Amino acid sequence: MLSDDSKLLPNAWLNDGFGDCRTTTVGAQQGSFTTCATLVFALIGTQTRMKFVSDANVQKALGMITDLCGFISLAATLYGYYTDCYLAIKRQQTIDDEDYRAEVYLGPGYFCYLVCLFGAFMRALFHWLTPLAPRPDENGKMIYHGSGCAFGIPKNLIDALDENGDGKISCSELTKLSSAYDRYRQQKNTERRLSTVSISETITEEPKASLAGNAA
């Protein structure tokens, strides 16, 4: 933003104040496009790991390594853009006895890339935390492979929800649990409404009995 709108920015200010920003921006063009394009493959890899039959060591390794490298490279690019195009630009300068003032701010595209940066970090983190799909060992026991966290279900919860006795909780059993809970909640709501109605009727009958006694 200039102090006098009728004047153009002098070349001296453009070269001295915006030279580093121009170089950084031009250098980040290809990386910005690559970041957007590779997000499609990152989402495909995430969906692949959601299926037990397709989850494998190579999928976990690719998710961890590529997303981590993407996070580091995008973080370096955003940091360079912040320092060269936001902090380094002079807000005020006097050239040929003319005062020039510039208003510098980060646009919405920068914050969109910050969201992409956060997503890359979370994908790399959860690729590491999520273990591979369980595979049966020689005894038929389902075990987890690779690094990550595997949270077991408490035995008392399995005993309460496992209807067929196979030691597992299926989706149908969870659906039955949800339906039973809905019926229980509806029953409690009905009992609460009936209790409220009976109390209101009792309160209404007491004045009637009092009036009848006074009339007698």
Per-residue pLDDT of 12-50, as tens digits, reads 666 666 767 777 888 787 777 777 777 788 888 888 888
Give yes or no for residue 207 having a pLDDT over 70: no
pLDDT band at 99 (very low <50, low <70, confident <90, very high): confident
- The mean pLDDT of 80-90, rounded to a whole number, is 83
**Higher-pLDDT residue of 181, 151:** 181
Return the pLDDT at 5.
47
Measured CA to CA, the distance from residue 100 to residue 152 in angstroms comes to: 65
Of all residues in the chain, the percent with pLDDT exceeding 70 is 66
Per-residue pLDDT of 5-17, as tens digits, reads 445 555 666 666 6
Return the pLDDT at 4.
46
How many residues are recorded in the chain?
A: 216
Give the alpha-carbon dihedral of 126, 129, 132, 138, to 10 degrees. Answer: -170
Per-residue pLDDT of 191-203, as tens digits, reads 887 777 666 656 5
Measured CA to CA, the distance from residue 92 to residue 102 in angstroms comes to: 6
Mean confidence (pLDDT) of the chain: 74
- Residue 20 near residue 28, CB atoms below 8 Å: no
Q: What angle do CA 21, 27, 32 make, to 5 degrees?
A: 105
- The mean pLDDT of 76-92, rounded to a whole number, is 83
Give yes or no for residue 173 having a pLDDT over 60: yes
Measured CA to CA, the distance from residue 113 to residue 115 in angstroms comes to: 5
Give yes or no for residue 92 having a pLDDT over 80: no
pTM given for the model: 0.55
